[in-house]
Structure 1
């Protein structure tokens, strides 16, 4: 018997249409992806109804309810002059974030490495009176303590809504064997330990406001990438820290979000003067045997990686800004954001691909053409080794 031959059938279809329409209206502001998901759900529900009216209606209604609940959590909370702290506000993504959040109406505390630097001065000149520039070297416990005191003094009873750990260093990409231990330590000191210490200092304020902790890591923290052993390891540590804190802070009502951007053009790589110093640092710390095996030409060619990264990175950091905004303002923020081209795909490949397949993809389809160390270009030495 046709499902359309009874009043009950028509009633079920009418209710289903109302549910589906409500979900579609709800997801108008969620972009094309949400619409596609809902349309797929509607199609699946129609197929189910053609098989079994009752169970099709039940399952489809449950689907609509789940999607509606999920989309309801994406609603943005009002700004209401909420206060946020951003580290690394001198330049790059942190600088852009300070301006963006200020424009949205937040009270912004811009932590900078150089309080009298050009980046800090630009923030003072271009942003509203709500923005405060704080001297904040996140590897300096005294400066963290001082920044905390200034934040508490200004926010008073309003509290601090969000901490955005953005400050980071990359240094010169190179083979892991070539990277000096000081560079490993500096990456960990800034990218991991600094973020942890800032988090610990401001967590009492976040617990009080039931606010947000947003850690900006990197795609390199979840995807093994050649020449980024120091940087990637520090970002991987920050990634795991974020996951653990997300679980531990949920009982306090604090939501933790991790942002793993792809390639965006910032000045984290520095300029040619910085590269010269980093190259000299590498050469000065290499044992003679290692320098002989790799060859000075190979070591000096490492700066080509920076040129490649700069060439293929996006100058438009707005995807990162929008994701951080969502992490700070959404009623139910996501645990992970992956702004940038193909970032989520690479994270999935690194997690689920067989190792041999993933390594083959990286070797043949990612990065600049790789030079060979001196010893590997000399067949007679290879045989001796």
Structure 2
């Protein structure tokens, strides 16, 4: 076998080996994209260019050096009782995250919508004395200001290391034309203006500590899914806000990360109860023309869509919690994380595929129990 062939096989073997190592070490799609791409490109390119064996070894050595530097960046900083504020801790991601951070030794401030509710009481009962439960409706400037005062009083010179904006609501899931304006405004108030207000209030503390801002967005922030006009629009706004702050706060040493999870069972859907409680209000705000064109049966199908969302969501929060911990503790956190099955693929699909193809895929993604509006079923 010639030296040329040996070099080619060498490149392929190294690409496979190092690629596997990266995939095993960095399990989150949000963390493995860059190293996999440059490894594959480096060795794949060398293979295609058929570099002489000597220069191929030089290239391999340099790539190993870069890999070592990258791996060092992934080392987690010591906890050292760093203080973290998490919003939306009554249930879901926030509730689970507080428990995880508490076990790791962080000083945790858990913002809840109801400080006397079952979620808040469970945190007080099961967590250590390092946790402080705060009444914190993210849409209330007064409660944000009060929470800020309590955090400052407790952390004093230690400062606040990280803010995790997690609070959010799903709102009504149906065709954008049928979603009431009140729902659009409520979603925007909680999912976007809420995190913006909390961030603005606590940024002085984060700048002082050169800490971390972690915003929990959604796969929907980058993927245009039918029936999710209100929710996805707010998450897209939050993602863009975070990306701009990432650039602006870099001069202060503050790292900004966005978590874009897929479907998880966080109680954000409220299952079918959400539709039952709001059905009358939704019907009342529709015009007679809309009721005639869409039909009562079409509107009822939307309730089944909520059930299907819950059914196809994962009950295991581990990927999300792992990524949030990494964003809080890594020396150089990733700007984006995509926990969940195929989330990164859907986001990339929305970014690079032709619109006609991506639209078709996204329609199929949410086509559970799809029904055609009555006007489209009627003969011309």
* TM-score in terms of structure 2 length: 0.89
Conserved in 1, the CA contact under 8 Å of 2:272 and 2:303?
A: no
What corresponds to 1:349 in structure 2?
349
| Pair 1:30-2:21 in alignment | no
Superposition deviation, residue 308 in structure 1: 0.6
Relative to structure 1, the CA distance from residue 243 to residue 43 in structure 2 (aligned partners, 3 Å threshold; closer, same or farther) is: closer
Contact 2:272 2:304 in 1 (8 A): no
Query: CA 1:32/1:121 → structure 2, altered by over 3 Å: closer, same or farther?
Result: closer
- Offset at residue 376 of structure 1 (A): 1.2
Aligned ranges 1:59-74 → 2 under 5 Å: 59-74=59-74
**Alpha-carbon separation, structure 1, partners of 2:102 and 2:57:** 47
Take 1:314 and 1:112, find their aligned partners in 2: how far apart are those partners? Answer: 23
Taking the TM superposition and a 5 Å limit, the aligned residue runs for 1:293-372 are 293-364=293-364, 366-372=366-372
What residue in structure 1 maps to residue 9 of structure 2? none
Q: Deviations over 1:139-185 (max 9, x none)?
A: 00000000000000000010000000000000220100110000000
CA contact (8 A) 1:327 1:334 kept: yes
Q: Tell me, what secondary structure is at the counterpart of 2:268?
A: helix
Q: CA RMSD in A?
A: 2.8
Kept in 1, the 8 Å contact 2:73–2:330? The answer is yes
Greater gyration radius: 1
Output one character per residue of 1:56-88: Cα deviation in whole Å (capped at 9) or x when no partner. 233222212222111110000000000000000
Q: 1:289 to 1:46 in 2, by over 3 A?
A: closer
Aligned residue runs from structure 1 range 1-385, under 5 A: 30-31=25-26, 51-364=51-364, 366-379=366-379, 383=380
2:226–2:366: 8 Å Cα contact kept in structure 1? no
1:8 equivalent in structure 2? none
Question: Per the alignment, in what secondary structure is the counterpart of residue 267 of structure 1?
Answer: coil
- Counterpart Cα distance in 2 of 1:375 and 1:232: 27
Any idea what SS the aligned residue of 1:155 has? helix
Task: Compute the displacement of 1:128 (Å).
Answer: 0.5
